[in-house]
Amino acid sequence: MLTSTLLLLGASLGSVVASPLRRRQAPSQTPVVTDATYDGQCYYPKPDEDDFELDEYVGRWYQVAGTVAPFTAGCKCIFAEYSLNANGTVRVFNGCELDGQEITIEGTATAVNEDLGYGEDGVFRVQFPGQPEPECPGPNYIVQDIEQDDDDDDDDDDDDDDSNDGNFAIVQASNFSTLFLLSRQQNPPSSQIDAWLERARLLGTNMTDVIRIDQTNCQFT
């Protein structure tokens, strides 16, 4: 059985790299305490199950910030595109630009059954072909916080109209090991990215290795 635990995610809250325009305040000594699920092996963030809707989540997202990860090292213009497979899984199409070349990878995200106790919605196991199974038994892709503006069921795509701070998603991995800050807009205002990074920090992300992802002068997106 899963237990719900309060996870103390240390006091070392470093600054966000690659944001030279604004100096962050000195690291706070106040620890961040956030709710998590523990299955005896790994810790998992709680998903934003009230707001997550798979039908609305599909489509293209741009990664505007995140934890430095080996699989995206050196990449700019990182994007993720989600669509529904006929068998109920989600097709994951990721791409980025590295040294002027486009790199893409395709995988499958499978929703984790809510009966397993990791959350009702917004919890997935993402698997890419030829890569080892995730080490943790639970989800490796958890949507911790999401806000989308266009939830009126109007059909007109008024993409230029999103002036408030919606259209972001905070995605974390098992053990809070990798943050993906996703945005519907490729280059949202910097202040919005900062605000969402602060939400990610309060939700348990270790900010030490979090960087902004360059989404300018993209050749392929």
Q: Does residue 87 interact with ligand NAG by CB under 6 A?
A: yes
Nearest approach, Cβ of 125 to ligand NAG (angstroms)?
Answer: 11
Q: Does residue 208 interact with ligand NAG by CB under 6 A?
A: yes
Distances (CA, A) of 43 to 5, 7, 104, 126, 146: 9, 8, 29, 17, 20
Q: Which listed residue (34, 178, 206, 215) binds ligand NAG by CB under 6 A?
A: 206
- H-assigned helices in 126-189: none
Distances (CA, A) of 108 to 10, 34, 94, 119, 208: 33, 29, 11, 19, 29
Nearest approach, Cβ of 54 to ligand NAG (angstroms)?
Answer: 15
Nearest approach, Cβ of 165 to ligand NAG (angstroms)?
Answer: 26
Q: Which listed residue (136, 202, 211, 218) binds ligand NAG by CB under 6 A?
A: 136
Q: Does residue 83 interact with ligand NAG by CB under 6 A?
A: no
- 172 is written with which tokens? 């974390």
Q: Does residue 89 interact with ligand NAG by CB under 6 A?
A: yes
Q: Does residue 175 interact with ligand NAG by CB under 6 A?
A: yes
Cβ count near 3 (within 10 Å) = 10
